[in-house]
Amino acid sequence: MVVRHLPKVEAPVQFWYPAPNNHMEIKEIKLEELNPEKFIKEKIREISSIVGDGLAVNALSGGVDSSAVTILGHKALSDRLKTYFINNGLMREDEPQRVVSLFKELGIHVEMINTQKQFFDALKGLTDPEEKRETITEVFYRDVFGKIVKESGAKFLLQGTNYTDVEETVAGIKRQHNILGQLGIDTEKVYGYKVIEPLLQLRKTGVRKVAQTLGLPEEIYAKPPFPGPALATRVIGEVTPERIETVRKATKIVEEELSNTEAFQYFPILYEDKVTGIREGKRDYGFQIEVRCWDSKDVKTGSPTKLPYNTLERLAERITTEVPGVVSVTYNITKKPPSTIEAI
C-alpha cells in the first residue's frame, strides 16, 4: 500500500482521465492468491505506520467495502479513527439508522451527519449523469468531509476503493465516486487530507472474504453492491427529494422480492420519460420504473437473471400499486457489455 503523491492540480478541481496504463502500478491480488488473515495483519500494520499517532476519519456507508475499512481502521487505530455516516438524503429506507445500530453492536461508535439539504441543493437542475456524480463527489469530499476533517484535526481519510472502481474510472467507463488520486487529484492539497485505501488491490469477492474474516455479519459481507452516490444513481434526470422517495419505495419492494434469489445485484431505476397508463378507466400519464437483476461473478460482465415470470408479474403489480405515480415497469434483458450494471 502506497500513499501516492500525484501531480498537483489547482482548485477548482479539474477531473482528468490519465492514459489507460497509469493505474498499472496497482497490483491486483486475485481471489485465489488472497490469504485473508495475512492480508488483514499487513493492512493493520500499514495503516498504523502511516497514521502514526495522528488522527484519521472515515465514512461508513454500510456497504462491504466501507464496513471492512471501518473494522480494519479501528483495529489499527482504535479511538484515533472517527467514523461518520453521511446521511445525504439519498440512502435506502431506514438504512442510516440500521447501519449505525449494527456497528454499535460491534462496539464501534458511528456519528451520523445530516447533510440532506446540502446534497439536494447542489443537485438541483442537474440532469447529466457525469455532472451529477461529480457534484455528489465534490459535496462529499470538499464540503462535508473538508469540514469534518478541519474540525477534527485529522490528516487522513480511510476509504474502501477497490480494484474494479479504479479500473472502470481509468478506462473512462464510469467516474466512480471514490476515485481521486488515480485521477491525479492531490487530496492533501485540494481537501486538506491524505487518502488511505487498504482495499485497492482487491476485487469485490476478495473484499467479501476479508470482511467475513474480520467478523462482520453476513448481512454486511454478503451485501449486494450499492453505489456511492446511492439512489441518485437510480434516478434518470433531475435528482429531487420527491423522485428519490419514488425510487426508494420501489427499491424496498425490489429488495424484498429478490433477496431470496442468488442474484449478484438487483434494483429499480426511475425514468424521466413518462408513459401513458390507465387507472379506473381514465388516462394516467405516469412514471416508468425499470428493474435490473444481475448474475455476475466479477462485475466486469453480467447477465440478466432469468427470474420466473410470476416473480416479474409480482414486481410489476406491487410497484404499480404501492409506489404513487408509477404506471409501467420493465425488466432489463441486456447483458453487460454493452449495458453496464447501473443505468447511469
Q: What residue ranges bind a copy of itself (CB under 8 A)? A: 129, 171-174, 236-237, 271-279, 281-286, 290-291, 304, 306, 309, 312-313, 315-317, 320, 327-340, 342-344
What phi and psi, each to the nearest 5 degrees, are found at residue 334? -100, 140
Q: In whole angstroms, how close is the CB of 33 to a copy of itself at the nearest point?
A: 24
24: exposed, middle or buried (C-beta count within 10 Å: 0-12, 13-18, 19+)?
exposed
Residue with cell 416508468: 288
Q: In whole angstroms, how close is the CB of 289 to a copy of itself at the nearest point?
A: 9
Residue with cell 456497504: 63
- Strands (E) located in 190-304: 194-196, 265-279, 282-295, 303-304
| DSSP state, residue 300 | S
Three-state DSSP at 236 gives coil
Q: In whole angstroms, how close is the CB of 121 to a copy of itself at the nearest point?
A: 24
Closest to a copy of itself by CB, 26 vs 44, is 26
| DSSP state, residue 232 | G
Q: In whole angstroms, how close is the CB of 282 to a copy of itself at the nearest point?
A: 6
Closest to a copy of itself by CB, 4 vs 335, is 335
Distance CA 16, CA 181 (A): 11
Distance CA 97, CA 103 (A): 10
- How far from chain centre, in Å, is Cα 96? 14
Beta bridge partners of 295: 303
299: left (phi over 0), alpha (psi -120 to 50) or beta: left
Closest to a copy of itself by CB, 217 vs 325, is 325
User: Could you tell me which of 259, 29, 248, 59 has the C-alpha nearest to residue 147?
Assistant: 59
Closest to a copy of itself by CB, 2 vs 173, is 173
Closest to a copy of itself by CB, 167 vs 197, is 167
Please report how the helices 64-77 and 36-51 are oriented relative to each other, as an axis angle in degrees rounded to 10. 60
Q: In whole angstroms, how close is the CB of 199 to a copy of itself at the nearest point?
A: 23
Q: In whole angstroms, how close is the CB of 334 to a copy of itself at the nearest point?
A: 4
User: Could you tell me which of 88, 87, 40, 82 has the C-alpha nearest to residue 58?
Assistant: 82
Q: In whole angstroms, how close is the CB of 339 to a copy of itself at the nearest point?
A: 5
Closest to a copy of itself by CB, 93 vs 128, is 128
In 10 A of CB 110, how many CB atoms?
A: 22
Q: In whole angstroms, how close is the CB of 330 to a copy of itself at the nearest point?
A: 4
- Strands (E) located in 192-324: 194-196, 265-279, 282-295, 303-304
Closest to a copy of itself by CB, 219 vs 272, is 272
Closest to a copy of itself by CB, 75 vs 335, is 335
Closest to a copy of itself by CB, 196 vs 329, is 329
Q: In whole angstroms, how close is the CB of 317 to a copy of itself at the nearest point?
A: 8
